[in-house]
Every structure is written in C-alpha cells, then in structure tokens.
Structure 1
C-alpha cells in the first residue's frame, strides 16, 4: 500500500477546526469586554479617590489623571492603578524592570506619595491608605444598601461606627432612607420617611452643605429630633452632605453607640469618605424626576394643542429648602389669557414675576399644599371679565392643582351658563345655611337639595321624608306646633314660618321651616315648596347675649355690695374728719384720695391724735403696692404705731419695732415708709423721725423750706436699721405739711421735680384760709391718679392782728 491522503468527509476535521476558530474569537471578545469593564471600573475608582482627597469634581478628577499619565509617559490605566496604590501591570512590549521603574518613580512624576494616592496636606498617611482601600471596595457596591454595608465594614474598626444610614432628599422636601447598615428592618421602616420639619440635623446638613457633628447627646437632643428607638442607642453622630456645598441631595449618617467627639483625624477621614461616595451615590441615590417633568420641552407641543387653560410648574426652592416660587415649564394660550391676557409668553418665567399678586391669592397656598401632600387642590369659582366680539361678558372659572412628580399641573375650567346658575344657587344655600325642599302632594314625589340633608344631619342614601312625616324629625317639645302648621298648609293651603329643633349627632340644632302651597283651580294644595334654614349659630348668639346681660346685672349687684363694704371698711380703718380739727393748739386739716384704679382703701394712711399728756401725735405712712395685702399691712402699722407711742415708746423705738414686725410677720406685706411727729404745745416743739419718707414742708413768713431729714431706713428693708430724731421749733403762723409720695410723683420724672412743684404751689397760696388744702390738691393733681394721696396740713395759729383765724 502506498501512503495517500483520503479526502475528508464533510463535517469531519475541517469543520472542527472552523468551530475551534469561532470559539477562540468568542473567547477573545469576551476577554476584551471583561478587560474593558475592569478598566472602566479601575478608572472610576481612581477618579473617586482623587475626588475624595482633593474635593474636585468628576471632570476635574478625570483631567488630573490624564495629565499625570501624560507627564509620566504612562497609560491612563497604569496611572489609575498607581493612584489606587497598586503596582501598575507591565505594558505589552515593556520589560518588567521598566514597568517597575515607572511604578517606583510615580511619586515624582505625579505628585503622589509612595504609600498611596494623592491626599490633602492635612490628611495623615493612614487616612489616605484607608480611603484607597475604600475606593477599591466601592467598585463592587451596586446599590445604596451595598454602599452602606461597605461603609460600615470600613468605618467600624477605625472610627467605632455602629450604623450607617443614607438619606436622599425627595421632591416634597422630605427625606427617604435609601440605604442602611447596622440597624434592623423595623427601625428602618419607622424612619424611612422623614418630613421636612425644622429641627432635623440631616436637613440642616443638606441646606448648609456642611457636616453636622452631633457629639453631646444631651445638648443635641434638645436641638434636634434624633433618629433612634430609643434615641440613646447612638450617643454621637455625624451627618455628611454629598456632595459638600450647596445643592447637596444625599446625606450619609455615621452613628456611634459611644459618646465622644470626632477628632480632627476622624473628621478628615469622614469628609474624605463623603467625597469618595459622591460618584457612586450620584448614579443610584439621587431622586429621579418623572420623564415628563424632567423634559418639559417634550410637553410643550402637547400643551399647545390642549383646548383648555393649563400650565406646568416646577418649584424653585430657597436655601432652606422651602418653595419660594414656581417656574412655568409649559402653558397653553388660554392659561396666559386667564392670568393676564397681556400676550406675553409665560413659559420659562417665574410665576410670581408673571403674576405679582399670586401670594395674596388662595391659589398660592393651594399650590404649596398640593406639592407637599400630593392631594389635589380645588379652588372656589371666581369671575373674570372677557371680551368676545367686542362685547364684555362675565365668565366664571374654577382652578385645580395636581402634583406630577416634583411638578404641578394647574388647570382652569370655564363654566357654562347653566353651571353658573347652579353655582349661584349653591352659593346662596351655603352662605345662607339653608336648602330648598319640594313636596308633590299628588304624585307623593319629594326632592331636597343636598344642603337640607346636611342641615338635618340625614344620610342622602335614606332619601327625603314626606311632608306629613317631617314633624317626626323635631324634638318632642316642638312636634305639636310643627304638625299643626303642616296640617294647615296641606289641608287649607296656609303658608307658615315655624321654628323647630332637631337632635343630631352634633347636638341640638335650631331650624326654621318656611313653606307655601301651590293650588289647583279648585284651591286644593297640590304641591308644597319651601326652604329649611339652620339658625343654630344665631340662636346660640342670642342665648349668649341673654346670659351676658344676666351676668352684667349680677355683677352690678356684686359691685354695689362691694362699694358699700369698701365704704364701711374705709370708715373703720381710716376714718376721715369732715372738717378741720384742733389738736394741742394746732389746726389740722386732712385729705385722703385713693388711687382712681382699684379699691377705695389703699396703702397710704395717717393718724392725728392728742396723747394723754396733752401732746399731739401725727403719723403719715405709705405701704408699697396696692390691693388687700397692702390694706392689711396699712391697718396693722397704723394701729400698732399709735399704740406704741401712747404706751410710752419713743419715736425711733417705735420705728425699730415696726421694722421688726414687717420682717418677721407673715401677715404683713412688703415694705413701707413712715414719718412720726410729736408736738409739745408748751414749748411749741415738734420732734419727728422718719423711715424712708419724703421730708415735711415748712411754710414760714411766706418762705417755703423742706425740713432736713434725720437718718432713717425704709421699714422692712434691713434687719439692723438706724433711726434718729430731729427737732423743729414752731412759730405762730407756721404751716407744716406731712404727705405721701402720691402728691409729688409723676413717673417718669424725678421726685425732686415734684417736690419743687409742691413748694411753688404752697408759696403761691400762703394764706391760712379754710379750704386752701383743696385748692392745693387741685393744683398738684392732674389726670388719673396712679397712687394714693394722703396729706396732713398742720398750722400753728398766728398772733391776733385785727382778726383771728377760725
């Protein structure tokens, strides 16, 4: 046999070779795609590290990597591996040593430290290395929950983190928990939605664009609503906005069970973590707007074709997240006409700019409520003048607002003439709180308006009642009168206007039924129509008025009795002489005027008596404050002072004991001032002492002077006061005034001004005529008195000179 090649059968060796080549090509393509995916992941990780450690944007990080690779004559992939802190794989065609040399010289070429990626000058090397490890781990995080778990694994051993929570801002301004680790699902479900309230640390961080470090649990719990069940589970927290600065939409929370501050290294570490996560969070955590709201341009052709007035609005928010205005994204021509009819296109403009008075309209609050709650807003109908064919007509519109994602759709509906008539009837019933009713006596058909069902608190599903059954709805006391009126109307056609009451789930209501009959040719009633009106509010007002009148009459009687009691109390505590009296050769005139606001007995008092030895005692005092407490203290001091002096106590001794009384008695009230004076008629000697009181005034030979005050402290102000006596020799014709500060004080002026005014008034009337004290009071007191006034006018008669003083 000779060696020969047998022709191959179809489907034998040549077909297998072709199949092997196809498989090889597929494997090569898969390897290429796998390498491409790995390369893209490495690039994204490297960009994240640069962003985290330098605070730059994603585009700036990409440009930084390209520039570094170009400067070091490396590929972008090699530079990314170097940035991540790993040795760069050898390029094809390059020897191992060459590649190693390039890796060893990366620090000088790219500005990176040998240990890892580029860091800020203040970041420690271990922080940079930790962030590089995190950057490599984040590549495998495919969801916010994976990201939270990755962060907790990274931060637990280094910062003592126990939990991580990731919140994203939602269209209504609130927050939604999009990722978490270290907490159970029950707690996560409870705190999944956070409303846009004040006192939320997460919202503060998002609004300010700066982290919130919660390191003092007691202080933080007073300032913020803390997440947790109970909140004490985490004693310290950090909330980091992503990205930092204005426009942050996501916030990362790092929660620790232990107390303590976040050190500068911890803060640098956490801020780097937030920047490192910015790219990943941007892909799956930022709330997405609906396609229609995100692309208003696509809706404009649709809006132009709509035959009604409709507008698409997007909210514009202030720095604190509140809605300050709306941008018009799309609008029909009819909407522009309803808003103003100026012909200007509102699209792209701010709504408040296009409609300046919007914030004063109910529609503004309706838009805010619809945006926050998602519930549609239905506005009340309003009128608008329109010109059609040169004729001005009044048209009725109503407005409706509905939320579409983070946008609003506002629609204005024009009512036809029949709609307007129905609306007017509805307005009439609503404003008058009444409803119409109709009874057909022939067909027994009954029809009520919806307002009648509301007034009677009757379910419309139960239907209206017949006219003969209507009295059964009234309370038993009113059924007879209503039955009589209904019988007269149905039998004889007599109209009526009858009040009656019904008992509902909301209490007793006072109603009014007005009805009349329609008769046939023979005068027989065949139909009854009328209305039911709710008069409950009016009746309650009438009853309240009657009760007020009765209360006023009762109060008048009480006040009259109090006036009688006060008059008796005044006469018992502080009897006033009706005319001047003579004491130890002195003529004494008294005046007491209580404050015009308050009771007629106050804290001022006087005493003018003749002592057993023939001397005269004069006392004037003033208790601080007003009311019953001041009156009680006044009475105690008045009677005690007289008793002490009558029983032989000196003036200074009496003041010292009265001071002790005020300090240690529970029945006394506050502090008091007082002046005590004793007159010896034999020597015409006036000895006096004072406790914080205004000085006596002396009128002698037409000249006015104030006596020099001896030492004396306010009663009740000190446990060791010092009191001294002073002496004054009176001469015939002298006049002494003892008074309380109500005579001279006029707030807010100084009391020295009042003392000067008193001196001028006394000098202007130096005569000793009867009644001069009343004239003095008229000159000194103007307008309403805020304080009591008490005056003792003491005069030593002069020598007879042709006529004697009475």
Structure 2
C-alpha cells in the first residue's frame, strides 16, 4: 500500500513561519501527492483483468482516505453486467450482512439506483450519532464495528455509472479535503480503466457464447460406443472445435480441429469449416482423405489467408474399426487397461498451407473397453512445456486414470484435463507464453459388451 503524505508544516511554537518556508511546504506536499497518484495509477494500469483492477482500486482508495476496510460494488448502469461485490478486510459473511441493509439506506445504494442528488462522494462521519439512520444499517454497523463511511461513485465518460466504492472507519472520522481530492482524481482515472476492462470482458464472454453455439448441442447415441466432449474456450474466442455425427449403417463421423487466430474472424471460419465437414462427411464419410481434401478446397475458397488443422475419423462401432486422416493435427491417444499409446499417423501439412492437400489414411482397431481421445493442439500448448514433454504428460495422465473411472468417457476426459493443464481444469486460456489457447477434447469409449461383427442391435 502506497502511503499518502499527511505532513503539515511544523514550526516551533511562537515562531512565525516565513512565506518562503510555507510555499516550500505546500510545494513539497503537492509533489508528494502527485508522486502517490502516479504510483497508484501505474499499479492500476498494470492490471489486465477486471477482478484485479477492482481489488487494486479498493486497496488504493483505502490508502488515500486512511481506511482499513471497505467494499466495492460493480453494477453498470446499462444492466449488461457483470455485477460483482468485493471486500477489503471483510469476510464473506460480513459482506452478506452489509447486503441485508436496504439500498435506499446507504449512500452507495442510492447512487447505484440512480436516485437524485447522489452523483458525488458522500461522507458519513458518525453513523451511530445520526438519528435518521436506518435501524438495520445501525444494527449492521454495530455488528461489524464501523462508525463512519466514505462513499466514492465510479463514473465513466464513455459508459456512465459503473459502481461505487465504500470505505469504513472504526472510529468517527472523515477524509481531509486534500484526501477527498486525491481519491476523486484517482477514481476518475480508475473508472476509465474499468470501462475498458469491462468491454473487454464482455467481448470475451460474447465470444465464448458464440464458440459454444458453434459446437454440437448434443452428442449422438450410437450402439457400441459412448461419447463425451469437453471444450475450454480461449478468452479471445479461438477456433478449437469438435464434432460427432451419425452416418448410415450405424457408422459414426468424428472430428476435431483448430483454426488459426482468435476473435470474430476465427469464430466465423470455425463455423464454416465445421458446417462444411458435416456436409462432406455425409457425402463421402467412408473416405476421410476425400473429406479433408474437400475441406481444404473450401478453406482456400472462403478463408484464403487462414490455416487450420483437422482430424476426421470414420468409425464403425460394430466392427470396432476407426479409419482416420489428419491435416497437421495431433495423433489420437488410445487408453485402456492393457495399453496407453498414440496412434501412428502420417505426417501432413495443415489445411491451407499447400495448393493441394492429400495424405494417406490410417486404420486401427481399439480393444473392447478402450477409449480413443481426439484433442486439439491447444491441450499440449497450454501445458507450458516443450512439445515432447507435453505429449509425455498427456500419455501419463491417460495411463493414470483410475480403473473405477475408465468406464465413463466424461470422467476420463475430466481426469486428463485436471492432470495435464498446469492449474487443473481452468478457463483462463493462457499458456506458459501468455498466448490464448482453446482446447477441444473428444473421448470415444468402445463398450465391453460389443456385438459380434455382422449383427445389429
């Protein structure tokens, strides 16, 4: 916490201060205040998340007004959210007590409700001495041991009302005029920074919603296999996707892929590629090479500046065979009681990198009870390690799935995400180099009670 200068000119009693000394003291105070504001705003500018900025604002404001506790309520006036309440020196239960006070009885509540006369800061220097104080407010103040409050509204020139910060004093008190000025200047700067982070968070949330809408609403139910999928969206709305669709003769088309870049353009390309692959899989799904060749042509026609990786597999559960082809994609991983190994696939360039893509397909036969994992490259990159170590980490995680969980492909997928990602299954989306990475993971378990070849269920 950066201390605020509270020094006042001091002179021996009875000795008048010279005008020059007085000006020097005033100048020193101004320099100290400017230095403090500079340090606090620099620290605030260093925050890149909304939650981090809110906490920094609350801490810095407490230092400026000389308080040790407080709370900050984020509640944008446009109603689009997000809405949050954070505390300083207050436990979760104590924040809950404060929230039971009627909003109209608090300065910050009146400001957030847009009531007249609440556009500026409000000081309540002696709460318990106020005869008009709401009984519930008096009860909570006595319970939490605060005797005074100072409320600073948070307003942005671009987005309007954002929220309010309230600092609590253990004894009757109020900030000096100089402290009020400093916290007001700091709050104006902080509100603009919050407005930018707010828009960024909203954009990320919108991108995540769109990314989820581009994925299958539900996975198909095909005799002989059980499916589970997990998707961790990148903060910027990356292009990692998966798909599974039923095909004639109880076959199954499986796909995972990744589009380079992030944001709206990557999301649009993802939607077009997934829709194209679905069409090609229906037309010629038994030939994965033909499916990806058509996808390559679609990418060059609609997204000429985009590169993408994809893996498509034609699965016949009754015969327990998987025929697949990959374009610059990571190899599937097969795991079960007897083995955990990567499927040997041929090397090929990503889609969009060559004038004409083609690579041979690979066929393999999973054993009864085994699970095949199809995943995007983001799962490896988000480990923050080298590629070889990331592959080893993934294989170790799959081999370490407890036997009791192996029958459930969803439990297998969750275990692997927790074991492979540095912080478990998180949604932060940033790898060790700070890049944004999404993850798509499709788990396909072949049932133990598999029907003999040539039979139908």
Q: TM-score range by the shorter chain?
A: 0.5 to 0.7
Instruction: Report what 2:75 is aligned to.
Output: none
Superimposed CA distance per residue, residues 713-760 of structure 1 (whole angstroms, 9 cap, x where no aligned partner): 211111033221111123322221111122223576431222122222
Cα distance change, pair 796–539 in 1 and its aligned pair in 2 (3 A) = closer
1:593 to 223, 228, 232: 232
Partners of 1:558 and 1:732 in 2: CA distance = 50
1:659 to 293, 296, 311: 296
Is 1:565 the counterpart of 2:206 in the alignment? yes
Q: CA deviation at 1:617?
A: 0.5
Partners of 1:569 and 1:607 in 2: CA distance = 16
Instruction: Report what 1:643 is aligned to.
Output: 279
Contact 2:284 2:291 in 1 (8 A): no
Cα distance change, pair 430–721 in 1 and its aligned pair in 2 (3 A) = closer
Partners of 1:429 and 1:731 in 2: CA distance = 83
Q: SS of the residue aligned with 1:624?
A: strand
Contact 2:207 2:264 in 1 (8 A): no
Contact 1:630 1:669 in 2 (8 A): no
Q: SS of the residue aligned with 1:645?
A: helix
Cα distance change, pair 540–423 in 1 and its aligned pair in 2 (3 A) = closer
Partners of 1:762 and 1:428 in 2: CA distance = 69
Cα distance change, pair 698–551 in 1 and its aligned pair in 2 (3 A) = same
Contact 2:370 2:446 in 1 (8 A): yes
Contact 2:253 2:312 in 1 (8 A): yes
Contact 1:632 1:668 in 2 (8 A): no
Cα distance change, pair 669–543 in 1 and its aligned pair in 2 (3 A) = farther
5 Å-filtered alignment, 1:374-393, equals: none
Instruction: Report what 2:68 is aligned to.
Output: none
Q: What's the TM-score, normalizing by structure 2?
A: 0.52
Superimposed CA distance per residue, residues 287-318 of structure 1 (whole angstroms, 9 cap, x where no aligned partner): xxxxxxxxxxxxxxxxxxxxxxxxxxxxxxxx
Superimposed CA distance per residue, residues 531-583 of structure 1 (whole angstroms, 9 cap, x where no aligned partner): xxxx9x99986664454465467568756754663454234212464xx7633
Instruction: Report what 1:775 is aligned to.
Output: 415
Instruction: Report what 1:605 is aligned to.
Output: 241
Q: SS of the residue aligned with 2:351?
A: coil
Instruction: Report what 2:447 is aligned to.
Output: 797
Partners of 1:775 and 1:725 in 2: CA distance = 30
Contact 2:383 2:421 in 1 (8 A): no
Q: CA deviation at 1:426?
A: 4.5
Instruction: Report what 1:679 is aligned to.
Output: 315
For structure 2, list consecutive stretches of 5 or more residues without a partner in the other structure.
1-14, 31-176, 432-436, 451-457
Q: CA deviation at 1:689?
A: 0.5
Cα distance change, pair 427–557 in 1 and its aligned pair in 2 (3 A) = closer
Partners of 1:683 and 1:573 in 2: CA distance = 31
Contact 1:590 1:792 in 2 (8 A): yes
Q: SS of the residue aligned with 1:603?
A: strand
Instruction: Report what 1:732 is aligned to.
Output: 368
Q: SS of the residue aligned with 2:255?
A: strand
Q: SS of the residue aligned with 1:610?
A: strand
Q: CA deviation at 1:669?
A: 5.1
Contact 1:584 1:615 in 2 (8 A): no
Partners of 1:545 and 1:706 in 2: CA distance = 56
Q: What's the TM-score, normalizing by structure 1?
A: 0.31
Partners of 2:211 and 2:187 in 1: CA distance = 36
Contact 1:581 1:589 in 2 (8 A): no
Partners of 1:748 and 1:553 in 2: CA distance = 30
5 Å-filtered alignment, 1:422-501, equals: 423-428=20-25, 431=28
Contact 1:584 1:616 in 2 (8 A): no
Q: CA deviation at 1:668?
A: 5.7
Q: CA deviation at 1:698?
A: 1.5
Instruction: Report what 2:394 is aligned to.
Output: 758
Instruction: Report what 1:722 is aligned to.
Output: 358
What is the total number of aligned residue pairs between the two structures?
275
Superimposed CA distance per residue, residues 214-253 of structure 1 (whole angstroms, 9 cap, x where no aligned partner): xxxxxxxxxxxxxxxxxxxxxxxxxxxxxxxxxxxxxxxx
Cα distance change, pair 549–431 in 1 and its aligned pair in 2 (3 A) = closer
